[in-house]
């Protein structure tokens, strides 16, 4: 009986075991505190989007939104037809406008090259 007590005391010596586990606990606590903010931010970034309708731009949950694709890019809209239809029309309009401007710019450059100076 007394031998068992001695062996138990020597194995669980607080001088050797406790400082290591204390450091580990402290590290785990700091890690958990830091990870709380990281995971919270990650959850926010991965689940919240802005409505792609430029007249709305409301913060919405990705799970409560309508996803549309245009030119291999995803756009998210509020769960109503107005935001989705006007938003997609506006995105297409902006694309057509920039395409036209780009074409006019190239034509103007070609005209200038053909003119003798």
Would you tell me which residues interact with Zn ion (CB under 5 A)? Answer: 51, 53, 56, 58, 78, 83
- Comparison of 2 and 63: residue with beta carbon closer to Zn ion: 63
- Comparison of 17 and 79: residue with beta carbon closer to Zn ion: 79
Two structure tokens written together for 96: 């057509």
- Comparison of 21 and 85: residue with beta carbon closer to Zn ion: 85
Shortest reach from residue 78's CB to Zn ion, in Å:
3
> SS3 sequence, 51-101?
CCCCCCCCEEEHHHCEEEEECCEEEEECCCHHHHHHHHHHHHHHHHHHHHH
Shortest reach from residue 111's CB to Zn ion, in Å:
43
Give me the phi and psi of 76, to 5 degrees please.
Answer: -115, 140
């Amino acid at each position: 009986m007394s031998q068992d007590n001695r062996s138990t005391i020597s194995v669980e010596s607080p001088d050797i075991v406790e400082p290591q586990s204390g450091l580990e606990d402290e590290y785990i606590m700091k890690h958990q505190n830091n990870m709380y903010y990281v995971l919270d931010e990650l959850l926010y970034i991965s689940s919240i989007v802005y409505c792609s309708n430029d007249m709305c731009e409301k913060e919405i949950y990705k799970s409560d939104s309508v996803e549309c694709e245009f030119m291999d890019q995803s756009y998210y809209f509020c769960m109503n037809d107005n935001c989705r239809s006007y938003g997609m029309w506006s995105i297409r309009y902006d694309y057509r406008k920039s395409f036209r401007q780009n074409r006019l710019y190239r034509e103007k450059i070609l005209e200038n090259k053909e003119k003798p100076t």
